[in-house]
Amino acid sequence: MSTVATRQAPPEVAPAPAVPGRRRRWTRLILPVYTWLMILYFSLPILVMIVFGFNDTKGRLNLRWQGFTLNWYRELFAISGLTTALRNSLVIAVISTIVTTVLGTMIGLALGRYRFRGKGAYDLVIFSAISAPELVLGASLLSLFVTAQFVRGFVTIVIAHVAFSLAFVAVTVRARVLGLDPALEEAAQDLGADPWTTFRKITLPLLAPGIVAGGLLAFALSIDDYVVTSFVSGQVETFPLWVFGATRVGVPPQVNVMGTLIFLGGVTIAVSNALLARRQRG
């Protein structure tokens, strides 16, 4: 509370400026209404996507509402190119998430816990990797692969995805590491545990939420990536690449359905993550 007030206590108690009551109430509404309108604006494309996944389109054009149908949910895998692309995306995302999480956690530990020569440079590299535009990341990787005559495909996509996700996971884990109470580990060591056991039984479980968060982030970054992938994909189609190509001819309703399902999946994970966190705390 403000200690200043005690010296110059003004006659009125209310801190609000002196304006007529009704106007004050009305202006109070502007911000919340605005915020809600913005939330609606954000949701508009999502609602459209979900709703038009149920559209009973007769022709190729999915433009106006033509009736409700669950067809597209049933024929989800009718377009083979789309199914292959989705499968590619999932496989790539899983692989790159695993690699990124392991390597990124290690980086996060190193940066958050130790001081060592070259840490400043390391920090700078991490910072650059986060703030570098994806365009530059993709273009430079393409330059590397072209020079090394490394044919672009599945492998190059995974390499690229790990490269741009590493820094994000590292930063996430580092934040968690910085928040860890060293007393817990010291206690374990005092009780005779060697460093590896300490790490396995104390540090790792404590870091787990950060690692999981990092892993989820890596997965989301990988499965949604368009820019970097478009440079290094060669002939492999991933889901975002396929959808981008489809926007020229008209996006089939299956894309709406898949988008809806991915969306619901992501929401479920996020909500359960939050609920778990709340339960852990409380």
Alpha helices in the chain (DSSP H): 4-7, 21-51, 71-74, 80-113, 119-131, 134-147, 154-178, 182-190, 195-198, 204-224, 227-232, 239-249, 253-281
* Residue 240 CB, nearest approach to another protein (Å): 4
Tokens found for residue 256: 């709406």
Give least dist CB 67 to another protein, A: 14
Give residues 25-84 in contact with another protein (rule: CB under 8 A).
Answer: 31-32, 34-35, 38-39, 41-46, 48-49, 52, 59-65, 78, 81
| Ranges assigned E (strand) in the chain | none
State in Å, rounded, how far the first CA of the chain is from the last one.
28
Contact pick of 85, 137, 202, 211 for another protein (by CB under 8 A): 137
With beta carbons less than 8 A apart as the criterion, state whether 211 and 101 touch.
yes
In angstroms, what is the minimal distance from the CB of 245 to another protein?
8
Q: What distance in Å separates the CA atoms of residue 231 and residue 253, rounded to the nearest whole number?
A: 27
Residues 6+ apart with CB under 8 A from 176: 108, 112, 207, 209, 210, 211, 213
Q: What is the contact mask toward another protein in residues 144 to 183, using x (rule: CB under 8 A)?
A: x-xx-x-xx------xx-xxx-xx--xx---x------x-
189 belongs to the binding site for another protein (CB under 8 A):
yes
Q: Which residues in the 191-230 window bind another protein by CB under 8 A?
A: 195, 220, 223-224, 226-227, 230
Which span (90-98, 206-214, 233-241) binds another protein, by CB under 8 A? 233-241
Considering only residues 77 to 136 of the shown chain, the ones binding another protein according to CB under 8 A are 78, 81, 103-104, 106-107, 109-111, 113-116, 119, 122-123, 125-136
